[in-house]
Amino acid sequence: MPSTLHRCPNCFHQTLLESRVGRQAVMQCDDCLGVWFEDGALNQAIAHKHDDISVYEHERNLGKRIGVGGRLCRRCDINMERFHLLEQYEVEVDCCPDCDGVWLDQPEVELALKSPQLNSALSTLSKHLTWRSMVFQFLTGMPVEYNLKPHRTPWVTYAMMAICILLFVAGQLNGQWENTLYLYLGLHSDAPTQWQLGQLISHQFMHGSWLHLAGNMYFLWVVGDNIEDVLGHWRYLGVYLGAGVLAALAELVFFDSSQGPLLLVGASGAIAALFGLYMMWFRRASLTVMILVLQFKVAPHWYFLVWSLTNIVGMIMGESNVAYMAHLGGFLAGILVGWLLYPWVRRNNPLLSWLNQPEVKLRRTKHIS
């Protein structure tokens, strides 16, 4: 049995060995790989990890005290207390009540080192509702998004919005131009196959009315920037246009030809695919809903579940002029692509992966600020 000073708080019978976490000297168990920090070593290791932090006090950011655990402090030989790493991140860490000793299991080490970044992200995601957001949604009926700010400028999203707006304005300026644009760029079910191949792409940039355009552009702006940030510009463009093609094919397959030829326009199918991706990847984001004059923040899966149900009801009731199958087909395509790409997304976006863990208990507060 090793001496108390060198005993692993987790394994008891194993000896702690000198090691390093980054530039910081620590002690580590060679068996369970847990790490012992003392004499401010954890604060120093966190500060070394972040160029913009010179002094950090992890003790001030600990979450709820859970109680006394079964692990013994290697210096004080008393039971250590268990805390949540952060207020809204319920990963458990062990702290000695008498000294500043901290024991972290191996999976907790990287989380602790990134705790300032995690804490900042959680604070952003749990921001209070504002009077401005309430007034905006009351007047427009559009949700307000609460999510992390993208790191890169969403140039592809901006470009697609610009093309959609320019084409619509051009059609409004001249009736003949409008007819020509719809003829060549809209997707026609009775057009020759060679025309339809191009129209599967081009129809995504055409819209039928100002409201149609405004609704699609708003949702493209809300969800597109975060997805483009994750995928990168070219992957995002490929996924967006490809999903729009699949959504259009779903509409063509299920369209009742007895009603006459189909003219399909709009980015709704491609944007519906972005809804599926957003729901799969940004689980801690929030979108607002409004009931009468009361505004609430809800998780994306609840928002898009209600959205999909309204599309199903509309399709069953046979409402015309809305491509419900394009919406639902695009949404399902987005969910499938989101699931297939999620391992890649987790590897390339550690923060997003950590925020999607079940230990995150986000407060979607109803307070108004």
Are 113 and 234 members of one domain? no
Provide mean pLDDT across the span 305-327: 87
Are 218 and 78 members of one domain? no
Residue 212 to residue 267: CA distance in whole angstroms? 9
Global model pTM greater than 0.75: yes
Phi and psi at residue 252, in whole multiples of 5°? -65, -40
In a domain, 362, yes or no: no
Are 65 and 205 members of one domain? no
Does 338 or 59 have the greater pLDDT score? 338
Which of the four pLDDT bands, split at 50, 70 and 90, describes residue 205? very high
**pLDDT tens digits for 222-264?**
999 999 999 999 999 999 999 999 999 998 888 777 677 888 8
Q: Count how many domains the chain has.
A: 2
Q: What is the pLDDT of residue 54?
A: 78
Q: Is the pLDDT of residue 169 over 90?
A: yes
Q: Is the pLDDT of residue 118 over 70?
A: yes
Are 154 and 232 members of one domain? yes
In a domain, 366, yes or no: no
Provide mean pLDDT across the span 341-365: 89
Last residue of a domain, one of 124, 139, 162: 124
* Secondary structure of 250-288 in HEC code, one letter for each residue: HHHHHCCHHHCCCEECCCHHHHHHHHHHHHHHCCCCEEE
User: Residue 154: helix, strand or coil by DSSP?
Assistant: coil
Phi and psi at residue 165, in whole multiples of 5°? -70, -45
Are 165 and 274 members of one domain? yes
Q: What is the pLDDT of residue 263?
A: 86
Which of the four pLDDT bands, split at 50, 70 and 90, describes residue 366? low
Are 187 and 234 members of one domain? yes
CA 28 from chain center: how many Å? 35
Do the strands 145-146 and 102-104 form a parallel or antiparallel pair, or are they unpaired? unpaired
Are 336 and 233 members of one domain? yes
| List of residues 6+ apart from 79 with CB closer than 8 A | 68, 69, 70, 71, 72, 73
DSSP 189: T
Give the domain range for residue 111.
Answer: 4-124
Are 177 and 265 members of one domain? yes
Which of the four pLDDT bands, split at 50, 70 and 90, describes residue 156? very high
Largest CA distance in the chain: 90
Are 154 and 95 members of one domain? no
Q: Is the Cα dihedral 69, 73, 79, 82 positive or negative?
A: negative
In a domain, 363, yes or no: no
In a domain, 360, yes or no: no
Mean confidence (pLDDT) of the chain: 88
Helix (H) or strand (E) run with residue 334 in it = helix 324-348
Residue 128 to residue 33: CA distance in whole angstroms? 40
Q: Is the pLDDT of residue 153 over 90?
A: yes
Does 39 or 204 have the greater pLDDT score? 204
Are 202 and 251 members of one domain? yes
Q: What is the pLDDT of residue 56?
A: 83
State the CATH number of the domain containing residue 323.
1.20.1540.10
Q: Which stretches does DSSP call E strand in 15-171?
A: 16-21, 24-29, 35-37, 65-72, 79-86, 89-95, 102-104, 145-146
Are 284 and 167 members of one domain? yes
Q: What is the pLDDT of residue 1?
A: 45
Query: Do residues 145 and 286 lie in contact, with contact meaning Cβ atoms separated by under 8 Å?
Result: yes
Provide mean pLDDT across the span 319-338: 90
Half-sphere exposure of 224 (CA within 13 A, CB side): 26
Q: Is the pLDDT of residue 278 over 50?
A: yes
Closest CA to 362 of 300, 257, 253, 286: 286
The burial class, CB within 10 Å (0-12 / 13-18 / 19+), for 135 is exposed
What is the token pair recorded at 140?
Answer: 């427009």
Last residue of a domain, one of 124, 149, 183: 124
Residue 33 to residue 160: CA distance in whole angstroms? 49
Are 54 and 108 members of one domain? yes
